[in-house]
Amino acid sequence: MTAAAEGSPPLRMTRARRNALLQSEPVQGLALISPTLVYALILLVLPILVVIAHSFWTQHYLTIDRSFTLENYRIALTEPIYRDLLWRSLYISLTVSLLTVLLAYPIAYFISFHGGRHKSLWLFLITIPFWTSYLLRVMSWKVILGYNGVLNSGLMGLGIIDEPSTALLYNSSAVIITLTHAWAAFAILPIFVSLEKVDRTLVEAAKDLGDGPLRSFLRVTLPLSAPGVISAALIVMIPTVGDYVTPKLVGGKDGVMIANAIQAQFGKASNWPLGAALSVTTMVIVTLMAGATVLVIRALQRLAR
């Protein structure tokens, strides 16, 4: 740029250099991705920064007081109601991710090792229900577990129970069942991908060296698929902690989760800073829990070898 003032020959050189720069891979690549990147920056990064900023502010009716305070975090972490909701959300998301991974692993293993020619058909069959509306899937669990629902009326029809059970719907178990069903496919895919990468000759070698099927699975296949198990656990744990629809539809009073409290702060209660602090707290704690999960799985992996 400064070379422009130095006369024409250097100018031509700079232009040539600039053209070379413009045609270089990094510049072209970055230029091409910039619209998408800018979009993500404006609608994802900026909003999250705004939420973090709000969490340190205070709301007086309609105006926001922008002086720094940690009061919202004190409320979020010590008020029994929010503490309980946070604990319950963490408990539910941990249980759900554990269940989905346990239930999904054999399926991923079956498709990867015994799927044969039909691998992609199996994957398609398993993922297709998950492209249907999440709201509708939660709704169908309400239909199944309800007082006058499918399960109660079915069991009564079969003579197994005499009167409808109220224990099925509106509690945290109902939330856990629904979420486990809703996230099943998301756990299968990463585990499947990592199982596909397991070198089959290693499994063969373990068997040739005298390991039985269980031993070779525990010492070769399972540790090698740990990365898939980790991503499956995280991909389920992080989004479920902030689930709103499921607790609202099937959770009842005992199944309320933190997202419902966050929504209330942005709706009826109209306390944005507290809602923001609750969101940030949830994200930080779930990130810590995710980190701990990764460490535990890695430790187990080392132990198995």
Partner 1 sequence: MTAVRRFLTGGWLPAYAFLYVVFLYLPVIFLPIFSINTAATPKFPLTGFTLHWYEDLPRTPALLDAAWNSLIVGVSAAILSTVLGILAARSITRYRYPGRRAINGLIMAPLVLPEVIVAISMLLVMLQLGLSLSLFTVVLGHVLVCIPYSMTVLTSGFEGFDRSLEEASADLGESAFGTFRRVTLPMVAPAIISSLLVCFTISLDEFIIAFFLTGTEATLPIYIWGQLRFAAKLPGVLAPGTLLLVASFLLMTIAEILRRRAARRTQNEGGLYA
Where in 194-233 is the site for partner 1 (CB under 8 A)?
Answer: 196, 212-214
What x-and-dash track marks residues 54-93 binding partner 1 by CB under 8 A?
x---------------------------------------
Count CB atoms within 10 A of the CB of residue 203.
19
57, 72, 183, 243: which one binds partner 1 (CB under 8 A): 243
291 part of the interface to partner 1, by CB under 8 A = no
9 part of the interface to partner 1, by CB under 8 A = no
Count CB atoms within 10 A of the CB of residue 169.
22
Residue in the block written with tokens 């507290």: 274
13, 22, 43, 205: which one binds partner 1 (CB under 8 A): 43
Q: Please classify residue 209 by burial: count the beta carbons closer than 10 Å to its beta carbon, then call 0-12 exposed, 13-18 middle and 19+ buried.
A: exposed
The residues, ordered by sequence, that sit 6+ positions from 89 with a Cβ below 8 Å of its Cβ are 241, 242, 257, 258, 259, 282
Indicate the DSSP class of residue 149: S
185 part of the interface to partner 1, by CB under 8 A = yes
29, 292, 299, 305: which one binds partner 1 (CB under 8 A): 29
Longest dimension (CA), the chain: 97
163 part of the interface to partner 1, by CB under 8 A = no
Count of residues engaged in binding partner 1, rule: CB under 8 A: 93
247 part of the interface to partner 1, by CB under 8 A = no
Candidates 13-21, 76-84, 273-281, 295-303: pick the segment binding partner 1 (CB under 8 A). 273-281
Identify whether the C-beta of residue 178 lies closer than 8 Å to the C-beta of residue 92.
no
Q: What is the closest distance, in whole angstroms, from the C-beta atom of residue 305 to partner 1 in the complex?
A: 20
86, 90, 179, 184: which one binds partner 1 (CB under 8 A): 184
Residue 1 pairs in a beta bridge with none
Count CB atoms within 10 A of the CB of residue 5.
8
